[in-house]
Amino acid sequence: MVYIMIDPGHGGGDPGASGYGLQEKLVSLQLSKFLYDELRRYEGVEVDLTRWNDQYLSLDQRCDLANDTDADLFISMHCNSFSDSAAAGYESYVVYGARDYMTNAARKQDILHKHAMKLLKEYGVRDRGKKEAGYYVLRYTRMSAILFENLFITNQEENKWLADKDFLTKMAQAYAAGIAEAYQLQKKADDEPGPVEEELQEYWRVIKDGEEVGVFDYKPHAILSGSHAARAGLMYGEKTVTITYERVLRANRGKKEDPALQEEMVTSSLP
């Protein structure tokens, strides 16, 4: 199973760049959600977002969510900006040194960049290149990490595309195709979700040494909470801390739980 963590840049009180009434934080979130939907059409992949709504997350929190869930690939979605509205184009980044040694991150950057530019060439978008940078989320994530600057929000023409849901859907499809190539994923025989997925809501219980310490509707937040609980226990002198995560599916319109759909998964036992 391949685990992809998508990071919509900015959020909450941090709007990121803006242009012509459009905010980067909302574009990055919309594109990330579309990519999530596209990746769910493939077998053998699990996908999460660092944020699902307009909320602020620190750079540390974004990295922790990816690291604590042992993601295989971290994708940070952004839009570019510049004081000169003529600036335009598409570019992607991996951490400094990655391209010199053609690391896994650099190879995946090549593939995803290629798929994105295949689409963007149809719009006449300039390829600004595959680059390296010292961005925090590239340096402090432990997996392959790529940051994408999806056009210039300050360029009037590119801004119109970024405000177009059809365009963002096409971008998401391009990224999904790139990830599928990078990890040799195959599309599901039936793209439509089954009745169980449509009618049930997923929750995650965090259990520390047999006692529930929290319930979350988003798995990475449950794992982050469990990690903090484990560290706190060790700091206060506990010799062994066992964290268990229990997945529970509940009907959206009622309180009844289906025990057959529960799945317990011990993911951390810290000596």
> Which homologous superfamily is 2-183 in?
Zn-dependent exopeptidases (3.40.630.40)
pTM over 0.85: no
- Does 203 have pLDDT greater than 90? no
Q: Which residues contact 53 (CB under 8 A, 6 or more apart)?
A: 29
Task: Determine the pLDDT at residue 250.
Answer: 59
Q: Is 61 left (phi over 0), alpha (psi -120 to 50) or beta?
A: alpha
From 177-191, 210-224, 257-271, the region with the lowest mean pLDDT: 257-271
Give the dihedral sign, CA 36/42/43/45: negative
pLDDT cut 90: percent of the chain above it: 68
**How much is the pLDDT for 243?**
83
Interval 134-174: pLDDT, tens: 999 999 999 999 999 999 999 999 999 999 999 999 999 99
Every domain of the chain and the residues it spans: 2-183, 195-270
d(CA 151, CA 161) in angstroms, rounded, equals 9
pLDDT, tens digit, for every residue of 20-58? 999 999 999 999 999 999 999 999 999 999 999 999 999
Residue 116 pLDDT > 50? yes
> 45-83 burial by CB neighbour count: b if 16+ within 10 A, else e?
bebbbbbeeeeebeeeebbbbbbbbebbbbbbbbbbbee
Residues present in the chain in total: 271
Residue 214 has pLDDT above 80, yes or no: no
Instruction: Out of 124-128, 132-136, 175-179, 229-233, pick the least confident.
Output: 229-233
Q: Answer left, alpha or beta for residue 124, where phi above 0 means left and psi between -120 and 50 means alpha.
A: left
pLDDT of residue 102: 85
Q: Structure tokens of 78?
A: 């952004």
Residue 73: both structure tokens together: 């690939």
- Looking at the chain, the whole-number percentage of residues with pLDDT higher than 70 is 86
- How many angstroms separate the CA atoms of 189 and 176, rounded? 16
Among 23, 10, 15, residue whose Cα is nearest residue 153: 23
Q: How far is CA 47 from CA 71, 111, 177, in A?
A: 9, 19, 14
User: Quick check: 80 pLDDT over 90?
Assistant: yes
Contacts of 180 (CB under 8 A, 6+ apart): 42, 186, 187
Query: How many CB atoms neighbour CB 127 within 10 A?
Result: 15
Q: Which pLDDT score, from 0 to 100, does residue 230 have?
A: 76
pLDDT of residue 142: 97
Confidence of residue 200 (pLDDT cuts 50, 70, 90): low
In tens, the pLDDT along 220-259 reads 777 877 777 777 766 677 767 788 877 776 544 333 333 3
Model confidence band, residue 115 (pLDDT cutoffs 50, 70, 90): very high
Q: What is the CA radius of gyration of the chain?
A: 20
∠26-32-33 over CA atoms, to 5°? Answer: 90
